[in-house]
Amino acid sequence: MFKSFGRGERTSATTVEHPALQVKPRHIGIIMDGNGRWAKKRGLPRMAGHHAGMLAMREAIRACDDFGIECVTLYAFSTENWKRPVAEVEYLMRLPEQFFRNEIDELIKRGVKIRFLGDTSRLPSYTQETVRTSMQRTEHNTGMTVNFALNYGGRTELMSAIERYAKEVAEGRATVGDLTEAKFDRYLDTAGLPPLDLIIRTSGEIRLSNFLLWQAAYAELWFTEVLWPDFTRDDLFQAISDYGKRKRRFGAIE
Protein backbone atom coordinates (compact mmCIF):
# COMPACT_ATOMS: atom_id res chain seq x y z
CA MET A 1 0.00 0.00 0.00
CA PHE A 2 2.81 2.40 0.86
CA LYS A 3 5.47 0.88 -1.39
CA SER A 4 6.14 4.15 -3.20
CA PHE A 5 7.06 6.13 -0.08
CA GLY A 6 10.79 6.53 0.43
CA ARG A 7 12.73 6.72 3.68
CA GLY A 8 14.06 10.25 3.32
CA GLU A 9 17.02 12.04 1.80
CA ARG A 10 19.64 10.67 4.20
CA THR A 11 19.33 7.02 3.21
CA SER A 12 21.38 6.80 0.04
CA ALA A 13 23.26 10.07 0.28
CA THR A 14 25.23 9.23 3.42
CA THR A 15 26.18 5.61 2.85
CA VAL A 16 29.95 5.16 2.89
CA GLU A 17 32.44 2.33 3.16
CA HIS A 18 33.10 1.48 6.78
CA PRO A 19 36.36 0.26 8.26
CA ALA A 20 36.37 -2.92 10.31
CA LEU A 21 35.01 -2.49 13.82
CA GLN A 22 37.69 -3.41 16.34
CA VAL A 23 35.40 -3.42 19.39
CA LYS A 24 31.73 -4.21 18.99
CA PRO A 25 28.81 -5.31 21.14
CA ARG A 26 27.63 -8.90 21.02
CA HIS A 27 24.00 -7.95 21.64
CA ILE A 28 22.31 -4.71 20.52
CA GLY A 29 18.79 -3.66 21.48
CA ILE A 30 17.05 -1.07 19.32
CA ILE A 31 14.04 1.04 20.29
CA MET A 32 12.71 1.93 16.85
CA ASP A 33 10.99 5.24 17.57
CA GLY A 34 9.70 8.06 15.37
CA ASN A 35 7.65 6.42 12.61
CA GLY A 36 4.59 8.57 13.29
CA ARG A 37 6.56 11.82 13.42
CA TRP A 38 8.37 10.87 10.22
CA ALA A 39 5.01 10.48 8.45
CA LYS A 40 3.55 13.65 9.97
CA LYS A 41 6.49 15.73 8.73
CA ARG A 42 5.66 14.57 5.19
CA GLY A 43 1.92 14.93 5.44
CA LEU A 44 1.45 11.16 5.23
CA PRO A 45 -0.71 8.79 7.30
CA ARG A 46 0.96 7.13 10.28
CA MET A 47 0.81 3.78 8.52
CA ALA A 48 3.17 5.14 5.87
CA GLY A 49 5.64 5.85 8.64
CA HIS A 50 5.36 2.29 9.93
CA HIS A 51 5.95 0.94 6.44
CA ALA A 52 9.04 3.12 6.08
CA GLY A 53 10.13 1.95 9.53
CA MET A 54 9.87 -1.64 8.36
CA LEU A 55 12.24 -0.85 5.49
CA ALA A 56 14.66 0.77 7.94
CA MET A 57 14.43 -2.34 10.12
CA ARG A 58 15.34 -4.53 7.17
CA GLU A 59 18.44 -2.43 6.50
CA ALA A 60 19.39 -2.41 10.18
CA ILE A 61 19.24 -6.22 10.29
CA ARG A 62 21.42 -6.46 7.19
CA ALA A 63 23.90 -3.96 8.62
CA CYS A 64 24.10 -5.75 11.99
CA ASP A 65 24.83 -8.98 10.18
CA ASP A 66 27.43 -7.34 7.94
CA PHE A 67 29.11 -5.74 10.97
CA GLY A 68 29.34 -9.14 12.68
CA ILE A 69 26.88 -8.50 15.51
CA GLU A 70 25.92 -11.74 17.24
CA CYS A 71 22.43 -10.75 18.38
CA VAL A 72 19.99 -7.85 17.86
CA THR A 73 16.68 -7.27 19.64
CA LEU A 74 14.15 -4.99 17.94
CA TYR A 75 11.36 -3.36 19.95
CA ALA A 76 8.52 -3.91 17.47
CA PHE A 77 5.35 -3.63 19.59
CA SER A 78 5.09 -2.96 23.31
CA THR A 79 2.43 -4.05 25.78
CA GLU A 80 1.42 -0.37 25.92
CA ASN A 81 0.97 -0.03 22.15
CA TRP A 82 -2.48 -1.65 22.35
CA LYS A 83 -3.69 1.81 23.45
CA ARG A 84 -3.21 3.12 19.90
CA PRO A 85 -6.10 3.51 17.43
CA VAL A 86 -7.58 0.19 16.32
CA ALA A 87 -6.74 0.74 12.64
CA GLU A 88 -3.09 1.45 13.48
CA VAL A 89 -2.81 -1.63 15.70
CA GLU A 90 -4.35 -3.79 12.98
CA TYR A 91 -1.83 -2.46 10.47
CA LEU A 92 1.06 -3.13 12.85
CA MET A 93 -0.20 -6.68 13.37
CA ARG A 94 -0.06 -7.25 9.61
CA LEU A 95 3.49 -5.95 9.22
CA PRO A 96 5.26 -9.13 10.43
CA GLU A 97 3.46 -11.16 7.77
CA GLN A 98 4.49 -8.67 5.10
CA PHE A 99 8.05 -8.43 6.35
CA PHE A 100 8.73 -12.16 6.49
CA ARG A 101 6.99 -12.84 3.21
CA ASN A 102 9.46 -10.49 1.53
CA GLU A 103 12.57 -11.14 3.62
CA ILE A 104 12.56 -14.70 4.95
CA ASP A 105 14.54 -16.15 2.04
CA GLU A 106 17.36 -13.63 2.51
CA LEU A 107 17.34 -14.14 6.28
CA ILE A 108 17.69 -17.89 5.77
CA LYS A 109 20.48 -17.34 3.24
CA ARG A 110 22.31 -15.22 5.81
CA GLY A 111 21.83 -17.92 8.45
CA VAL A 112 19.75 -15.66 10.69
CA LYS A 113 17.83 -17.28 13.53
CA ILE A 114 14.50 -15.63 14.43
CA ARG A 115 13.15 -15.43 17.98
CA PHE A 116 10.30 -13.51 19.56
CA LEU A 117 10.14 -11.93 23.00
CA GLY A 118 6.87 -11.13 24.74
CA ASP A 119 3.45 -12.72 25.06
CA THR A 120 2.59 -13.73 21.51
CA SER A 121 -0.57 -15.55 22.64
CA ARG A 122 -2.50 -12.27 22.61
CA LEU A 123 -1.62 -11.55 18.98
CA PRO A 124 -4.12 -12.15 16.17
CA SER A 125 -4.10 -15.68 14.75
CA TYR A 126 -2.48 -14.58 11.49
CA THR A 127 0.34 -12.87 13.38
CA GLN A 128 0.83 -15.93 15.57
CA GLU A 129 1.09 -18.07 12.45
CA THR A 130 3.80 -15.76 11.09
CA VAL A 131 5.64 -16.04 14.40
CA ARG A 132 5.52 -19.84 14.35
CA THR A 133 6.50 -20.16 10.69
CA SER A 134 9.44 -17.76 10.84
CA MET A 135 10.83 -19.46 13.94
CA GLN A 136 10.40 -22.92 12.49
CA ARG A 137 12.06 -22.03 9.20
CA THR A 138 15.12 -20.55 10.93
CA GLU A 139 15.40 -22.68 14.09
CA HIS A 140 18.48 -24.57 12.86
CA ASN A 141 20.33 -21.50 11.59
CA THR A 142 23.59 -20.70 13.37
CA GLY A 143 24.20 -17.10 12.31
CA MET A 144 23.04 -13.88 13.93
CA THR A 145 19.99 -14.09 16.19
CA VAL A 146 17.28 -11.51 15.56
CA ASN A 147 14.72 -11.09 18.33
CA PHE A 148 11.46 -9.29 17.69
CA ALA A 149 9.98 -7.91 20.91
CA LEU A 150 6.30 -8.23 20.04
CA ASN A 151 3.67 -7.52 22.68
CA TYR A 152 6.65 -7.16 24.99
CA GLY A 153 7.07 -5.19 28.19
CA GLY A 154 10.00 -5.38 30.58
CA ARG A 155 7.81 -5.33 33.71
CA THR A 156 5.54 -8.05 32.32
CA GLU A 157 8.60 -10.14 31.47
CA LEU A 158 9.88 -9.84 35.05
CA MET A 159 6.50 -10.77 36.51
CA SER A 160 6.27 -13.79 34.21
CA ALA A 161 9.80 -14.84 35.19
CA ILE A 162 8.88 -14.65 38.88
CA GLU A 163 5.78 -16.74 38.25
CA ARG A 164 7.87 -19.39 36.43
CA TYR A 165 10.29 -19.53 39.34
CA ALA A 166 7.49 -19.70 41.91
CA LYS A 167 5.86 -22.55 40.00
CA GLU A 168 9.12 -24.52 40.00
CA VAL A 169 9.47 -23.95 43.73
CA ALA A 170 5.90 -25.15 44.30
CA GLU A 171 6.60 -28.25 42.22
CA GLY A 172 9.84 -28.97 44.04
CA ARG A 173 12.02 -28.28 41.00
CA ALA A 174 13.62 -25.17 42.56
CA THR A 175 14.54 -24.20 46.11
CA VAL A 176 13.90 -20.90 47.85
CA GLY A 177 17.18 -19.28 48.75
CA ASP A 178 19.17 -20.78 45.91
CA LEU A 179 18.16 -18.17 43.32
CA THR A 180 21.02 -16.11 41.89
CA GLU A 181 21.09 -13.48 39.16
CA ALA A 182 22.58 -16.01 36.76
CA LYS A 183 19.86 -18.54 37.55
CA PHE A 184 17.14 -15.90 37.22
CA ASP A 185 18.29 -15.18 33.67
CA ARG A 186 16.97 -18.53 32.51
CA TYR A 187 13.40 -17.53 33.43
CA LEU A 188 13.52 -14.48 31.15
CA ASP A 189 12.48 -14.25 27.50
CA THR A 190 16.14 -13.68 26.63
CA ALA A 191 17.33 -16.94 28.18
CA GLY A 192 20.34 -18.31 26.31
CA LEU A 193 21.16 -15.04 24.58
CA PRO A 194 24.33 -12.96 25.03
CA PRO A 195 24.18 -10.18 27.65
CA LEU A 196 22.77 -6.91 26.34
CA ASP A 197 25.68 -4.58 25.59
CA LEU A 198 24.15 -1.59 23.80
CA ILE A 199 20.71 0.02 23.53
CA ILE A 200 20.02 2.40 20.66
CA ARG A 201 16.99 4.69 20.68
CA THR A 202 16.00 6.94 17.82
CA SER A 203 13.83 10.11 17.54
CA GLY A 204 15.36 12.11 20.39
CA GLU A 205 13.50 10.43 23.25
CA ILE A 206 15.75 9.60 26.21
CA ARG A 207 14.12 6.75 28.11
CA LEU A 208 13.89 2.95 28.03
CA SER A 209 10.09 2.75 27.74
CA ASN A 210 9.83 -0.61 29.49
CA PHE A 211 12.40 -2.26 27.18
CA LEU A 212 14.64 -5.05 28.52
CA LEU A 213 14.71 -3.57 32.03
CA TRP A 214 16.63 -6.41 33.70
CA GLN A 215 18.99 -6.86 30.77
CA ALA A 216 19.72 -3.12 30.54
CA ALA A 217 21.33 -2.95 33.98
CA TYR A 218 24.83 -2.45 32.54
CA ALA A 219 24.07 -1.83 28.89
CA GLU A 220 25.54 1.24 27.23
CA LEU A 221 22.90 3.72 26.01
CA TRP A 222 23.05 5.63 22.71
CA PHE A 223 20.44 8.17 21.68
CA THR A 224 19.97 10.02 18.41
CA GLU A 225 17.59 12.69 17.10
CA VAL A 226 17.23 10.73 13.85
CA LEU A 227 13.72 9.38 13.30
CA TRP A 228 13.67 5.62 12.83
CA PRO A 229 12.70 5.54 9.11
CA ASP A 230 15.76 7.75 8.43
CA PHE A 231 18.13 5.59 10.50
CA THR A 232 20.87 4.27 8.23
CA ARG A 233 23.78 1.89 8.24
CA ASP A 234 25.97 4.92 8.88
CA ASP A 235 24.03 5.78 12.04
CA LEU A 236 24.40 2.21 13.25
CA PHE A 237 28.13 2.29 12.55
CA GLN A 238 28.40 5.55 14.52
CA ALA A 239 26.59 3.99 17.50
CA ILE A 240 28.81 0.92 17.49
CA SER A 241 31.95 3.02 17.04
CA ASP A 242 30.96 5.17 20.02
CA TYR A 243 30.33 2.02 22.05
CA GLY A 244 33.85 0.84 21.23
CA LYS A 245 35.33 4.00 22.79
CA ARG A 246 33.57 3.63 26.13
CA LYS A 247 35.11 2.14 29.26
CA ARG A 248 32.87 -0.55 30.72
CA ARG A 249 33.85 -1.08 34.38
CA PHE A 250 30.74 -2.86 35.72
CA GLY A 251 31.24 -1.17 39.08
CA ALA A 252 34.96 -1.89 39.34
CA ILE A 253 37.87 0.57 39.33
CA GLU A 254 39.76 0.89 36.07
pLDDT in tens, 159-200: 999 999 999 999 999 999 899 999 999 999 999 999 999 999
Q: How many domains does the chain fold into?
A: 1
Range list of β-strands (E), the chain? 27-31, 71-78, 113-117, 145-152, 198-201, 220-223
**pLDDT tens per residue, range 80-135:** 999 999 999 999 999 999 999 999 999 999 999 999 999 999 999 999 999 999 99
Residue 100 in any domain: the answer is yes
Please indicate if the annotation marks 101 as binding a ligand.
no
CATH of the domain at 33: 3.40.1180.10
Report the C-alpha gap between 11 and 234 in whole angstroms: 9
Task: Exactly one of 65, 66, 81, 151 is catalytic; name it.
Answer: 81
Domain membership of residue 189 (yes or no) is no
Q: Per the residue annotation, which of 33, 197, 230, 235 is the catalytic one?
A: 33
173 domain residue, yes or no: no
In a domain, residue 67? The reply is yes
Distance CA 224, CA 202 (A): 5
Residue 171 lies in a domain: no
**Mean pLDDT for all residues in the chain:** 92
pLDDT at 19: 65
Would 104 be classed as within a structural domain? yes
The annotation status of 177 as a binding-site residue, yes or no, is no
209 is in an annotated binding site: yes
Residue 52 lies in a domain: yes
> Domain range for residue 90?
24-153+196-244
42: annotated binding-site residue?
no
Indicate if 105 belongs to the active site: no
35 is in an annotated binding site: yes
Amino acid (1-letter code) at residue 91: Y
Q: Residue 4's pLDDT band (boundaries 50, 70, 90)? A: very low
- 98 belongs to a structural domain: yes
pLDDT at position 132, please? 98
In the residue annotation, 33 being an active-site residue is answered as yes
Average confidence (pLDDT) over 66-88: 97
